[in-house]
Amino acid sequence: KVMEWLRQRRQRREHKRWEEEKYEDGVKWKFLEHKGPYFPPEYQPLPDNVHFYYNGKKVKLSLAAEEVAVFFAQMLDHEYTTKKVFRENFFKDWRKEMTHEERSLIQDLDKCDFGEIHAMHKAKTEARKNMSKEEKQALKEANQKIVDEYGYCLLDHHKERIGNFKIEPPGLFRGRGEHPKQGMLKKRIQPEDVIINCSKESRIPAPPAGHHWKEVRHDNTVTWLVSWTENIQGSNKYIMLNANSKLKGEKDWEKYEVARKLKSRVDDIRYQYLQDLKSKQMVTRQRAVALYFIDKLALRAGNEKEEGETADTVGCCSLRVEHITLHEQLDGNECVVEFDFLGKDCIRYYNKVPVIKKVFKSLKLFLENKQPGDELFDRLNTSVLNKHLSSLMPGLTAKVFRTYNASITLQQQLKELTNSQSHLLAKLLSYNRANRAVAILCNHQRAPPKTFEQSMANLQAKIDARKEQLALAKTELKQAKKEAKTKGSSDPKLQRKKAAVKRCEEQLLKLEVQATDREENKQIALGTSKLNYLDPRISVAWCKNMEVPIEKIYNKTQREKFAWAIDMTEADFEF
């Protein structure tokens, strides 16, 4: 259907560039030209009046050791510089950068005094904040020049924005949660570490003077322009296109088409895994329960991770015994599973879920003779699970369930919560609530903003002030009515007062809606689902049906990312 529609638009020459013909199998582009990565500035040595002290004595550090000392000094306000793991990792890596003499002198981090360096850093930040308008303008222009030069590439006749064209600067690795590698030195990347990917016949980017690239390759089956290997985990980093590019847009569209395909097959697939719950085969039974969780709770697949390399987090397949508690009875429900584990980014997943009897019974079976630390699904991993899923439907993997359930939830919630007759503000609140339902399903949390209480109080103060104003306006209106009656009809003053009351009421409503929305959103992050899980066509169609301008739902960046959806979606679109 999509293909047919595309073909017709191409014939009519109405197509946009994301509707052009696709290349064969695996080929991502025919021509790619770019300027290479932008490197962070060289380290600037400390001025002569800023010192580092060891054991109370001034010590002039070598350039390499000094740079790393500055990384630490800059972070001194952060709580994690007090953490044992962070400090040990940092000190170990710092010592590697020292000269022999420095290493033999500096043996104890507690005897290091970074105070002056820290103060210098704070002063610098402060100075940057207090720059004059002209200085800020000049800085902005300089940055723009860098973007103009490095921020774009040429890909198959189209100029495309690059997502991240800067090499990541060196610093101390933090990681999320209790990361075993926190505090380690993330090293400066040299051109000699960098691989360039571009067309043979393009202008090959020049390495910085006196340097050379690790490699220049011409691989058109991948989408990255630049890559390097990072030293903390040894994983690859890439420079890729911006989300508004044709390549990314098509991929995104494809993702939602697969999720819609799942919609048409999901009844069968659910029937199948409910059947599998009765299987005598342990693998099959575990697979069925895992799928039940992934489908019902939108859990992530849960790949296995190397112990000691990363923080201890899990997903569905890697759940361990200690992550669930079974309750025959809880809060008036039967067969309740209590989940408590750290998921991606060490975000806690806590949920008490009533499940069907067969699932509950299976879980009891899986837990038999196991200790905390043992895997709940000992016969299962993501590879087995995904292989099974792809046999049920081409392109089906665990994460498709998240996309599908997120999008279908948004669509249902929008249908349920919005009324085309209501006020624009009420519609927007409904939209946010539908979005919020998805964020809760996907467990997208955020730390409550530091200023949350204050900003709620401010808003409440505004509401109170507005209420008072409204009361006053109402009194004045009454007065005006009285006057109008005694003096006779047509009184422009009466009209003015009526308008004032109405304006007040609207502004009050707006504030109250804002307060509700903000309160409900305290610990919930809407952005992640909006950007990655919700088929934008649902939102575009909703806007059309509800006569809500798309700008109210998507900001500029989001509209660029979802240009394909905004362009093609009619009001009757159904996910």
Q: What are phi and psi of 333, to 5 degrees?
A: -110, 155
Mask 340-379, x = binds DNA (CB under 7 A)?
---xxxxx--------------------------------
Point out which span in 61-69, 262-270, 380-388, 487-495 binds DNA (CB under 7 A).
380-388
Q: Which is nearer to DNA, 442 or 546 (CB)?
A: 442
Give me the least distance between CB of 222 and DNA, in Å please: 4
Which of 150, 292, 431, 533 is an active site residue? Answer: 533
CA 99 – CA 427 distance, rounded (Å): 65
150 included as an active-site residue: no
- CA-based angle 455:458:459, to the nearest 5? 90
Count of residues touching DNA (by CB under 7 A): 82
Q: Which is nearer to DNA, 99 or 383 (CB)?
A: 383
- Residue 574 token pair: 């159904």
Sign of CA dihedral 266, 270, 271, 276: positive
Question: Residue 96 in contact with residue 106, Cβ under 8 Å?
Answer: no
CA 107 – CA 95 distance, rounded (Å): 9
Of 115, 224, 258, 476, the one binding DNA by CB under 7 A: 224
Give me the least distance between CB of 354 and DNA, in Å please: 24
- Residue 540 token pair: 């575009």
Q: What are phi and psi of 241, to 5 degrees?
A: -75, 160
Give me the least distance between CB of 482 and DNA, in Å please: 32
Which residues, in sequence order, are CB contacts of 562 under 8 Å at separation 6+? 536, 540, 554
CA 308 – CA 327 distance, rounded (Å): 32
Q: Which of residues 15-44 bind DNA (CB under 7 A)?
A: 28
Q: Which is nearer to DNA, 168 or 338 (CB)?
A: 168
Of 169, 334, 516, 520, the one binding DNA by CB under 7 A: 169
Point out which span in 58-66, 176-184, 359-367, 368-376 binds DNA (CB under 7 A).
176-184
Question: Residue 385 in contact with residue 301, Cβ under 8 Å?
Answer: yes
444: how many CB neighbours lie within 10 A of its CB? 21
Question: Among the residues of 22-153, which ranges form H helices?
Answer: 63-74, 84-97, 100-105, 115-129, 133-150
- Residue 29 token pair: 């582009």
Residue 477, amino acid: L
Give me the least distance between CB of 68 and DNA, in Å please: 15
Of 50, 109, 216, 232, the one binding DNA by CB under 7 A: 232
Residue 355, amino acid: V
Mask 529-568, x = binds DNA (CB under 7 A)?
x--xx---------------------xxx-----------
Question: Residue 425 in contact with residue 509, Cβ under 8 Å?
Answer: yes
Q: Which is nearer to DNA, 301 or 501 (CB)?
A: 301
Of 441, 388, 437, the C-alpha closest to 416 is: 437
Mask 432-461, x = binds DNA (CB under 7 A)?
----------xxxxxx---x--xx--xx--
Which residues, in sequence order, are CB contacts of 134 under 8 Å at separation 6+? none
Mask 120-149, x = binds DNA (CB under 7 A)?
--------x-------x---x--x------
Q: Which of residues 190-219 bind DNA (CB under 7 A)?
A: 219
Give me the least distance between CB of 163 and DNA, in Å please: 7
CA 343 – CA 437 distance, rounded (Å): 19
Mask 500-529, x = binds DNA (CB under 7 A)?
-------------------------x-xxx
Q: Which is nearer to DNA, 426 or 484 (CB)?
A: 426
CA 113 – CA 110 distance, rounded (Å): 8
DSSP 354: E
Give me the least distance between CB of 468 and DNA, in Å please: 14
Of 184, 240, 297, 568, the one binding DNA by CB under 7 A: 240
Mask 268-297, x = binds DNA (CB under 7 A)?
------------------------------
Q: What are phi and psi of 387, to 5 degrees?
A: -60, -45
Q: Which is nearer to DNA, 346 or 356 (CB)?
A: 346
Catalytic residues, which ones? 533
